[in-house]
Amino acid sequence: MRPRIDPTPIFDLFRGSYATEILTAAVAHFRLFERLPLRLSELGLAERPALVLTTALRAMGLLTAEGDRLVATPIAQEHLVRGAPFDISGYIGLAASSPGVQALIERLTTNQPVSGATGTAFIFREGLTSAMDQEESARHFTLALAGRANNVAPVLAERYPLDGARVLLDVGGGTGIYAIAWLKRHPGLRAIVWDRPEVLKVAAEQAASHGVADRLECRAGDMFTDEVPAADVVLLSNILHDWDVPRCRALLRRLVDALPAGGRLLVHDVFLDDDLGGPLPVALYSAALFTLTEGRAYSAAEYRAWLRELGLKVGEVVTTLVHCGVLAALK
């Protein structure tokens, strides 16, 4: 059963604080608009934070790209250049010392995600403590993310049916809600949710409550190092955006290598515009991802390039809900 009312506006309001923080950081800390025009490499930041910052500003209508150079739009030239007759940068600067702005500046300049008392929330790397490996925090984060999945999963299963599929591998599947939505639609389908042991405790509970425990296997493992479970459909739902480009490409290669001929790989995620100039809701979500993970939002063009390099035939994005869509690739 899908939601009666689309919750996307609520998600947009929730992520709206990143617009304030990005604008304030650009104006009051980096004094970006006084330095334009410039190339992305001249911003003084690593590529990932530079793209997160400038994509959001482009989506706000404050920057535009002319060739390989970023230039201010007319509204930014008139109002965000310090000393201009109608300059409002001082007003924007009133938020410069706020905790959210200061935290974002630290993330942008260090290119490192937030790490709290329980470690990083959504990434696993040797030498780092992960909240997803601790029972209490793993349950908390997994169930928190389930709110979006509960809304989006039935729409994904409806708009991209898996007729004829035998085994679905849900990589980093968390609660297993996406796999469960397809299992309920296709009685002959089996699914494997592949994730951390503490996370899978929640998935097992979900499978039992939805009456599909006999067709859903919870398999513990590390998607970057362990043997990939056999399946003819592989799902990456809101996974790749947690990782930087090298890790994304490495993971895709592992999964594609394990996929049989005729198998499908599904990237279900948000997608930036191919020119990385928006849209604004996805650009702000990218800022949130950047803050919490080693990744950012990517464009469909970026995903297509990676998948085609691996020899896959890539289709078009099928939209689902909350700015998400599914990009299917056939081996």
Enumerate the active-site residues.
241
d(CA 298, CA 245): 9
Residue ranges of the alpha helices (H) in 176-299?
177-185, 197-209, 245-258, 280-292
d(CA 33, CA 55): 15
Residue 93: closest CA among 11, 15, 34: 34
Q: N- to C-terminal Cα distance for the chain? A: 31
Tell the residue number behind the tokens 């947690």, with chain if given: 242
Backbone dihedral angles phi then psi of residue 175, each to the nearest 5 degrees: -70, -15
Other CB atoms within 10 Å distance of the CB of residue 11: 19
Contact by Cβ (8 Å): 56, 274: no
User: What does the block give as tokens for 47?
Assistant: 């590529």
Contact by Cβ (8 Å): 50, 58: no
Residue 118: closest CA among 141, 140, 103, 137: 137
